[in-house]
Amino acid sequence: MVTNATIETLLNRRSIRAFKDEAIDDDVIDALETVAQHAASSQYLNDWSAIRVTDPELKRTLAGISGQAYVGTAPLLYVFVADEHRNAAIAARKDMDVHTDAFTLTSSYRFSQAQNDAVLALHAMETAAYSLGLGCVILGSLLNDVDKLIEALRLPELTYPVLGLAIGKPDQEPALKPRMPRSMQFFENTYPTDDAEVLEPLADFDETVHRYYDLRNTERPVDAFSDQIAAVAVDQGVASKNVGEHAAKQGFKLR
Q: In the window 231-250, what residues touch a copy of itself (CB under 8 A)?
A: 232-236, 238, 241-245
Q: Closest Cα to residue 159, out of 236, 89, 63?
A: 89
Give the one residue of 91, 171, 172, 201 binding a copy of itself; rule: CB under 8 A: 91
The answer to whether 119 touches 80, Cβ cutoff 8 Å, is yes
- Asked if 217 touches a copy of itself (CB under 8 A), the answer is no
Q: CB of 133 within 8 A of CB of 25? A: no
Shortest gap between Cβ of 17 and a copy of itself (angstroms)? 12
CB of 40 to a copy of itself, least distance (A): 5
Report, in Å, the least distance between residue 249 CB and a copy of itself: 13
> What part of residues 134-153 is at the interface with a copy of itself (CB under 8 A)?
138, 140, 143, 153
- C-beta closer to a copy of itself: residue 46 or 171: 46
Binding to a copy of itself by CB under 8 A, coded x per residue (else -) over 17-56, reads --------x-xx-xx-xxx-xxxx-xxxxx-xxxxxxxx-
Report the distance separating Cα 245 and Cα 240, nearest Å. Answer: 9
CB 131 within 8 A of CB 5: yes
Among 115, 166, 250, 251, binds a copy of itself (CB under 8 A): 115
The binding track of 157-196 with respect to a copy of itself, each residue x by CB under 8 A or -, is --x--xx-------------x-xx-x-xxxxxxxx-x-x-
Shortest Å, Cβ 46 to a copy of itself: 6
CB of 161 to a copy of itself, least distance (A): 10
Q: Which is nearer to a copy of itself, 37 or 204 (CB)?
A: 37
Shortest spacing between CB 219 and a copy of itself, in angstroms:
18
**DSSP letter assigned to residue 190:** S
- 115 neighbors 160 (Cβ within 8 angstroms): yes
CB-based contacts of 7-13 (< 8 A; 24+ apart in sequence): 9/127, 9/130, 9/131, 10/127, 10/130, 12/130, 12/176, 13/126, 13/127, 13/130
Tell me phi and psi for residue 159, to 5 degrees: -125, 160
**First vs last Cα of the chain: how many Å apart?**
43
